[in-house]
Structures are given as structure tokens and as C-alpha cells.
Amino acid sequence: MGRIQLFDDWAERYDSSVQSAPEFPLDGYEHVLEEAVRLAQAWPNMAVLDLGTGTGNLAKSFSALGCTVWGIDFSPKMLAEARAKVPQATFVQADLMGDWPAELDRRVDRIVSACVLHEFDLATKVSFLCRLAQHHLAHGGRIAIGDVAFPTVIARKEAHKRWAHLWDEDEHYWAADEALAACERAGLRARYTQVSSCGGVFVIEHEKRH
């Protein structure tokens, strides 16, 4: 319950806090989300699944494009904010890494996420992405992930020194070079775009169709 309570407590002030955040870890937050939306290349009537939807910022953007949007999050208070912001979307309370309810047992055209997957180590990230690609992504679909990320492992180490006083040692910020290599080994075709000093967007497609 600790993590859920943390995000419940953050829910009402989340949007204002990300807009006024220091340079790390949310520098360019809005630009990262905008780039994730652009690179997702969604259009009206597409089905979109927003992972860790939080207060619904990504969900709002895709709904505005005319997409049918589902959002998943484990925080009931974050979901309450999202439902108020995007009433036309469907929001479901569940743990990303746990069992999902039956209503999410579907394939969608786009899977998106913002500032969520850095909670998990690289092996868990890649395993999760494979699960999404194999079981939830429609043929020809894509995954767009905006998150706290750096272009290389070396850049991440330099950032760690620069922002040591802000760095959360329990989180697993992306390094694009190692992440792209791990995705390739897993059969996922991925590319990366750096957006801000500590944020970027991954676009992932599945090469192995079963």
C-alpha cells in the first residue's frame, strides 16, 4: 500500500508539481508528452491504452484526437482526477505488473505511457514490453513511451553526478543505448528521441509475430 498511498497523496497537486518541477527529473515534462503523442501517430477511432495514466494527461491528448482511450493506474485518487479530466475515456484500477481485469483483455492500436516505467529495472521493462507486444498490441500497432531517460549509460552516469541531490536510487532511469540493445535482443524494434535534458521518447514495434 505504500506506493499507492504515495501517489494518492500526490494526486491533487500532481499537475501543478510537474509544471513547476526542477530540471531533474521532469525537465520538459509537457514537451516529452507532446513528442510521445506525435510519435505515436494515432488518428481518430484508434484504440489507445495509457499505462500508468495518473491524472490523465496523455489520455486527454489522445481523446482529443478522437481515439477510444483506456487508462490503467493503481492509484484510485489519480484515477479520480483522470475521470474528471477525461470523462469520455475508460479508466481501470489495476497494478501494471499484476493481473489485469477482463475488460483490458483486448488488442489496441497504440500503447502509450508517460513517466512510469522508470519504476522498474531494465529486465522487467523489456519483459513487460514483450508481454504488451505479444498480447495487447494489434498488428501494425506501436508503443510510445515518454519517460525519464538519457541517450547513453555514460550520459546517465554524468546526470547522476550532476543531480545527485535529486536522484532517487530506487528508480531505474532509462539509458537509451542499453535499452535499445535489450529490446533488439528480445525481438522488439525500437528507436529513441531525446527531448529534454532528462527526458525522451521510445517508440517500439514487435518484429516477431506468433
**Mean pLDDT in residue range 51-56:** 96
Tens digits of residue pLDDT in 82-98? 999 999 999 999 999 99
Q: Which three cell numbers stand for residue 210?
A: 506468433
**Mean pLDDT in residue range 50-58:** 96
**Mean pLDDT in residue range 102-124:** 96
**Mean pLDDT in residue range 36-45:** 97
108 pLDDT higher than 60? yes
- Mean pLDDT for all residues in the chain: 92
Judge contact between 44 and 210, C-beta under 8 A: no
Angle, alpha carbons 3-25-70 (nearest 5°): 55
Burial of 93 per CB tally in 10 Å (0-12, 13-18, 19+): middle
- What is the band of 71 on the pLDDT scale with cuts at 50, 70, 90? very high
CA distances from 50 to 40, 79, 112 (A): 12, 12, 5
Q: What is the pLDDT of residue 17?
A: 76
- What is the band of 1 on the pLDDT scale with cuts at 50, 70, 90? very low
Backbone φ, ψ for residue 108 (5° rounding): -125, 160
210 pLDDT higher than 60? no
**Mean pLDDT in residue range 173-201:** 97
- Alpha-carbon distance of 207 to 140, in angstroms, equals 10
For the chain, the distance separating the N- and C-terminal CA atoms, rounded to the nearest angstrom, is 37
- Alpha-carbon distance of 11 to 6, in angstroms, equals 9
**Mean pLDDT in residue range 128-152:** 96
Q: What is the pTM of this model?
A: 0.93
Q: What is the pLDDT of residue 209?
A: 45
- Alpha-carbon distance of 65 to 174, in angstroms, equals 28
Beta-carbon contacts of residue 38 (< 8 Å; ≥ 6 apart): none
- What is the band of 39 on the pLDDT scale with cuts at 50, 70, 90? very high
**What domains, with CATH codes, occur in the chain?**
2-206 (3.40.50.150)
Beta-carbon contacts of residue 154 (< 8 Å; ≥ 6 apart): none
**Mean pLDDT in residue range 12-35:** 82
Long-range contact set of residues 150-153: C-beta below 8 Å, sequence gap at least 24: 150/174, 150/175, 150/176, 150/194, 150/198, 150/200, 151/175, 151/176, 151/177, 151/192, 151/194, 151/200, 152/176, 152/177, 153/177, 153/178
Q: What would the DSSP string read from start to end of 112-179?
A: EEES-GGGS-HHHHHHHHHHHHHHTEEEEEEEEEEEEEESSHHHHHHHHHHTTTT--TTS--EEHHHH
